[in-house]
Structure 1
Amino acid sequence: MNWCQPEFAFLIKWLKGVNWYRLNRTLHRDVGYFCIGFAIIFAVSGIAVNHVADWNPNYAVEQQVQAVDDRGWITLEDGQIAQNMLKTFALQQPVKSTFWKSQYKFEVFLDGGDALQWDRKASQVTYADVEPRVILQALNRLHLNETRNAWVYFSDMFAGMLIFLALSALFMVKGKHGPKKPKSMILMGLGVVIPIFFLLI
């Protein structure tokens, strides 16, 4: 390959004339703007999913407990017990399914996601009013790749852009605030050490 050919000579001349520092800053800025929406989606849903042990990120559940006179209920068919439980809270939703969770707990699932539980020992019925967290639910579906397969490619693209933003940031600033200065090295080091620390403890 002859690098002295006119087309290669033009390319080499063009590459030498590029202001790489300015180009890096421009790309870092534009890619950063493009990533704002992705970053908010993954950050908000990430916080929600991280605390799944403390709350339900997809549904808001409000519970009501009512004491009942359940004498004789145990002799009834499951469907009749379910109707008695519905009457306790004056509910009209159709029953989706029923089952005995244990010897003393009977559960009823209603259309729409709500549920009822009869506790024989405590003689009480609990009603769980379930409402979807529409926005969070949608964000969580994106975060967990529960949508179309095409979203996987967008997620991969976002990951690649984050890598670019991290690396291009090293060349954003010159002089006393550059990446070779002690403060910059310490901050970069912390970004590596902290994840390793949590892996080891």
Structure 2
Amino acid sequence: MARITMSFKNKSIAYWFRQLHRDIGFVAVGFCFIYAVSGILLNHMNEKDPAYKTENKSLLFHSGLSADELPVVWTDRGGLPQLNKVMKIDDDHLRLLLDKGIGVYDARTGDLDYELYHKRAFVYWINKMHYNKVGGWTVMADLFAVSLLFLAISGLLIVKGQKGIAGRGKWYLLLGILIPVIYVILS
């Protein structure tokens, strides 16, 4: 039976770059998926944290309730989230600090509008990773950054000829550098 052996000595540096580029690239793509989804969510927050779903509610109470009376009426109503604190905003409005939410009571009308925040576990987790707020994640983030540098450099060297860095590749590389530079200059 013939034995297939592979000699490390017979392989070129280009061969090993291609192998590492491919294998590290697959791992990096997994990281890229997570960072890309998180980045898109963070870029389009519209002043709201995408890691939380906001639920808006409205109630009608008697008008003219004081900061001392409102917690009693709130508790008597039943089925409402825990009220932790009531603070005066101005002569006509009170701020309610709720368990996982916040509200405003209008003493003139008796209207009470509040919102509750529900954590979206997956989005919360990937955003924490994106912001590097997960304990010990700095090492992984640095490894990912180094792997991206390797992929960038090895990618430049893998493709030869007119489609590589010596040909049209140099123009795409220049474009990739110029886009953020021009954006910074113009903004």
Q: TM-score, normalised by structure 1?
A: 0.78
Taking the TM superposition and a 5 Å limit, the aligned residue runs for 1:111-150 are 111=99, 113-148=100-135, 150=136
Matches within 5 A, 1:104-183: 104-111=92-99, 113-148=100-135, 150-182=136-168
Partner of 1:41 in structure 2? 34
2:181 corresponding residue in structure 1: 196
Indicate conservation of the 8 Å contact 1:99/1:106, yes or no. Answer: yes
- C-alpha distance in structure 1 between counterparts of 2:73 and 2:152, whole Å: 61
- 2:73 equivalent to 1:80: no
Structure 1, unaligned stretches of length 5 or more?
1-13
Give the direction of change, closer, same or farther, for the CA distance of 1:27–1:108 in structure 2 (3 Å limit). Answer: same
1: CA distance, partners of 2:124 / 2:13: 42
**Contact conserved, 2:39 with 2:130, CA < 8 A, in 1?**
yes
Question: What's the CA shift for 1:85?
Answer: 4.4
Q: SS of the counterpart of 2:85?
A: strand
Is the contact made by 1:85 and 1:116 (CA closer than 8 Å) also made in structure 2? no
CA–CA distance in 2 between the matches of 1:175 and 1:103? 75
2:55 — aligned with what?
A: 62
CA distance in 2, matches of 1:20, 1:135: 41
Question: Percent identity between the aligned chains?
Answer: 26
Q: Does 1:19 align with 2:4?
A: no
Contact 1:114–1:128 (CA<8 Å) still a contact in 2?
yes
Paired residues, number: 179
- Specify the alignment match of 1:95 in structure 2: 83
Name the amino acid aligned to 1:117: V
- Find the structure with the greater CA-based Rg: 1
Aligned-residue offset at 1:174 = 1.9
**AA matched with 1:193:** L
CA–CA distance in 2 between the matches of 1:40 and 1:124?
Answer: 44
Of the structure 1 ranges 130-139 and 117-126, higher mean CA displacement relative to structure 2 is found in: 117-126
CA RMSD of aligned residues (A): 2.2
Quote the offset at 1:131 in angstroms.
Answer: 0.8
In the aligned structure 2, how far is the partner of 1:185 from the partner of 1:103? 66
Moved more, 150-159 or 55-64: 55-64
Q: Residue in 1 aligned with 2:4? A: none
